[in-house]
């Protein structure tokens, strides 16, 4: 998880992806990638200097 957090933080800072008090929504499909992103952002939220809210969104298409 440390490696993922390191890469996540680098990308966020390189591209200025999070501003103070942002609300970030993660589309949760149930796959490894979306779950890892959500877990990484939740872990980052604890120590990242800019405060942000995090929301998971899942849609049931009823297929």
Q: Which domain holds residue 15?
A: 2-57
Does residue 63 lie within any of the structural domains?
no
pLDDT tens by residue, 15-59: 999 999 999 999 998 899 999 999 999 999 999 999 999 999 998
Does residue 62 lie within any of the structural domains?
no
Structure tokens at 2: 């440390």
User: Rounded to an integer, what distance in angstroms lies between the CA atom of residue 49 and that of residue 22?
Assistant: 12
Does residue 18 lie within any of the structural domains?
yes
Q: How many domains does the chain have?
A: 1
Confidence of residue 60 (pLDDT cuts 50, 70, 90): confident
The pLDDT assigned to 27 comes to: 95
């Amino acid at each position: 998880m440390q490696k993922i957090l390191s890469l996540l933080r680098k990308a966020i800072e390189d591209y200025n992806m999070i501003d103070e008090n942002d609300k970030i929504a993660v589309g949760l499909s149930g796959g490894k990638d979306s779950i890892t992103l959500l877990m990484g952002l939740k872990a980052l939220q604890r120590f990242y200097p800019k405060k942000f809210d995090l929301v998971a969104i899942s849609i049931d298409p009823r297929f």
